[in-house]
Each structure stands twice: as C-alpha cells, then as structure tokens.
Copies of this chain bind each other. A is one copy, B any other.
C-alpha cells in the first residue's frame, strides 16, 4: 500500500499519436484518434475512449489528455466536457514514457495518492462493460500492490503486428499475473504459438498504476526522462500551470523519445498483467474495421453513401459528401476522405504505408496534410 494512501483515480488519454496508417482519412493534421471510426455512429475514437475511461474514473473532469500542442484545438472539439486545464500539450512528440510520466507528474501534484489509468485514445473496445470491470480491477490491484498493472488483450488470432506480454504466476487473485517478459512483434510461427499458449497477451498499451510509483520507476530506470519531468513538476508546484507549460517547452523537446515499455516495463519488478477479453481493436488498418463494424448480407462493411453492385466482402468508406460506387469486386478496401482515395485488397490494407512513402517520394506531400 502506498505511503500516501489510495487517492482518486485519474484517467489518462494518450492522444499524441500522429500516424497515417488510415490514410486518406488519417493525415498528419488529423491523426487516427480523431476519426469517427468507433462503434457509435459518428463518434471519434478519442471520444469513445474518453467515455469509457470517464465511466471508470468517475467523470470527464477526472481525465487528463496528453496530446501534441497542435492537436489541442481538435481535442477540445472532440472532448468539450474535459476542462481545458486537463489537456496537457506536448511541445514535441517524445513517445509514451514521457507522455505517461507527464500525466503522472500532473496527477500527483494534485493528489499525491492518485492512481492513474492510462489508455491510448485511438483504439476501439467492443465490450465496454467488461472493460469497466477489468479496469476497476486493475486499479484495485495497482493500489493494493503498488504495482504497474497492464490490461493485456487475450489473442484472437496469430497476429504478427503486435507486441506480446508473456505471463508468469498468478499474483494475489483477481486474474492478475506476474509479467515474465515482453516480446516484440513475433514471426508467424511464434505468433501462432502465442495465440494458443494461454500465457501470452497482446500489449495494448493500457497501464494502471499509482502516479507516485510511476514517477519512482521513471526515476530509477529512465533518469534522463525523469529529470525533465521533475523540472516540469517543480515549476508546477512553484509557479502553477502557466509556469509548468513554459518549463515544458524548454525541457520536453530534449527528453529521450522512448516508449514506456522499453523505459520501464521491461526493467521493473512491479509489472503485473490482467488478461482482458473486451472486444478490442487497435483500428490499425482499414481491414481492421471488420473487427468493429457489422457487415451487410453480402459481407460488405460500408460508411457514407456507398453504392454496391455485385460486390462482396468489401470495406467501403466515404465521408458522406460523396457517393462511392463499387461494382463487381470482392475483398477490396475503398476509402474516400478529404483529398485522397485509396483502393487496395483487404489483405494488403497494411500497404497504405507504401502509398504514404510514395506520396512523399513523388513530392505529393500535400495529400498527407
């Protein structure tokens, strides 16, 4: 049990991502977390994540959002109920160790006993009740054992695109188990083994821990990161939020760009994981929409004004201001958004990254903005 006792829960939305894996809908200016791709019609992923996390923490005013400075206006638009002071702007993207650490510093300054629940803002969860239940359990375990608790996803396929958590012995009930090690994206054979081992989970980047403990772990295992965060925390205590923001602009860009996995989780003895069967999707490619959307009788998944004729098992996404017609094709992804159109077989949906590379190489960068 923490010296400060169990404080309130602080939900942290990690909203600093800037990928283009869902081009043309996601762009540098509008990353994935702002796309209306959740299960609720029209709801941005970040709003769905906030809704789920808010239910666990007890209100939108108990959330912190860590995002890029340039994205603050979009966050405010997507999350009008989150107080402006609880949107933390990163002056530069420095990966998850810095982002979670920044949130921990802020949470702790307001409540020394705060328990953080940090989740990515750009994922989707189908079974929200189950998520609430497991998140509450993770918060309890984190507080009781002063641990960093991961919700890890029970694999549903031999996925080679994710990192895995290898589980050890049970820890104190509630389904929690020690973390043996983290495994980077595996090959096909290993992925097949992990999918059925009962000892491996997908690492979905969902962390639950006392803010103080997180700070201590960063101080131990990622001292360069911690020094910068500590300076920001000191400015917060002595000069308030404006002073902290000023200090952050000075020190944050120089923090190491390192993930919380590499910086802390692979080194700490405090890591615990709880298997989560929550209908999770990373919404990592257009093909993944099949995980979150119902299909019609022909197996097509559509959004916007889609016209399908003799077409089966396609994923067709339009912005609603356009008509997207697909005739005589199967298993194809067609996306229209903003200034781009993408047409690719479902099984090659990951190759959008090659499109992005080509746009850069051919001096068509403007279509990525």
Q: A residues engaging B (CB < 8 A)? A: 23-24, 305, 307, 309-310, 318, 321-329, 332, 334, 336, 339-345, 348, 351-352, 354-355, 358-359, 362, 364, 367
Contact = CB atoms under 8 A, between A and B. Distances in A.
B321 A358 contact: no
A325 B309 contact: no
Contact of A307 (B332, B334, B339, B364): B364
A364 B362 CA distance: 36
Contact of A328 (B339, B351, B358, B367): B351
A307 B353 CA distance: 12
Contact of A327 (B24, B309, B328, B344): B344
Contacts of A348: 327-328
Contact of A332 (B340, B343, B355): B343
A309 B343 contact: no
A334 B327 contact: no
Closest 7 CB pairs of A and B: A323-B367, A327-B344, A325-B355, A324-B341, A328-B348, A323-B340, A326-B343
Given A351-B309, A354-B309, A362-B307, A325 B342 contact: yes
Nearest to A323: B367
A359 B329 CA distance: 18
A323 B345 CA distance: 18
Contacts of A339: 321-323
A336 B327 contact: no
B327 A354 contact: yes
A322 B351 contact: no
A304 to B, nearest CB: 10
Contacts of A323: 24, 339-341, 359, 364, 367
Contacts of A307: 355, 358-359, 362, 364
Given A305-B364, A307-B358, A355-B309, A322 B343 contact: no
